[in-house]
Chain A
Amino acid sequence: MTDFDRLLRVLADNHTEFILVGGVAAAAHGSARATYDIDIVYARTRENVERLVSALRPLEPYLRGAPPGLPFSWESGTILRGLNFTLTTGAGDIDLLGEITGGGTYDDLVADTEVIEVFGVKCFCLSLERLIAVKRAAGRPKDLETIAELEAIAEERKLV
């Protein structure tokens, strides 16, 4: 089971620059849908990647679904040579995204974030409007129900 509290705390404690996206961001906006991992878009600067690597190292990240024994070295060079990583850790599953379809990078998205405080941690969360736009742009059939719910949340907010 993914420990959202612990994962967000280790990232914040190490001053990692990241944006909450995906199911956890949707839940923060009011979605009632279950989600099994945390998706974050991380800043791709060398300094931030080093902070990210340092933050998650104690949780022994490994490629999710990969066979045991696969050579995978958790270091900044690995992250900088790749882009998006789906990981399993000692605190559960986390997706590290250097870029998202229809949204781009950390720098492209950061203007459309809100600062939220969750589990005693302040972090950037992608705005509801941008989350909807990103999911629409991704065009994945599996997201249709999620988009419908997010748009319903946007409508309900306007009624409040």
Chain B
Amino acid sequence: MSRIGREPLGSSLEPDPVIEAYKKDVDRTLLRENLKLTPDQRLRKLQSFMKFIHEIRGSARRRP
């Protein structure tokens, strides 16, 4: 599905000063790297990261 022929939603949203303030802290280098990937690669990366977090938490719990 697409919005071809319809006004893009993004263009109808006014900039929000609070969101603009938060935007200054966004790591755009990381985003640019992610945008080079396909959606499949992005979700595999997320899955791999979550597995890592899970393992780290597990090893922390197992510490005497």
Contacts and interface: CB of A to CB of B under 8 A. Distances in A.
Contacts of A148: 19-20, 22-23, 25-26
Interface string A115-156: 111110000110111101100100000001101110111101
Contacts of A3: 47
Size band of the A side of the interface?
Answer: 35 or more
Interface stretch (A29-37, A40-48, A68-76, A82-90): A29-37
Interface stretch (A9-17, A50-58, A105-113): A105-113
B23 A151 contact: yes
Interface string B16-44: 10111011011110111011010110111
A71 to B, nearest CB: 31
Contact of A151 (B8, B19, B50): B19
B3 interface: yes
Contact of A132 (B13, B34, B53, B54): B13
Contacts of A147: 16, 19, 22
Contacts of A127: 3, 9
A136 B51 CA distance: 30
A87 B54 CA distance: 19
Task: Identify whether the interface residues of A are mostly helix, strand, loop, or mixed.
Answer: helix
B61 to A, nearest CB: 13
A118 B31 contact: no
Contact of A32 (B19, B25, B27, B54): B27
Given A30-B42, A118-B40, A148-B26, 11 more contacts: A28-B39, A31-B31, A32-B30, A112-B1, A118-B43, A119-B43, A128-B10, A129-B9, A148-B20, A152-B28, A156-B32
| 4 A-B pairs with the lowest CB-CB distances in the bound complex, closest first | A148-B22, A129-B9, A1-B54, A30-B34
Interface of A: 1-5, 24, 27-32, 34-36, 110-119, 124-125, 127-130, 132-133, 136, 144-145, 147-149, 151-154, 156-157, 160
Interface of B: 1-3, 8-10, 13, 16, 18-20, 22-23, 25-28, 30-32, 34-35, 37, 39-40, 42-44, 46-47, 49-51, 53-54
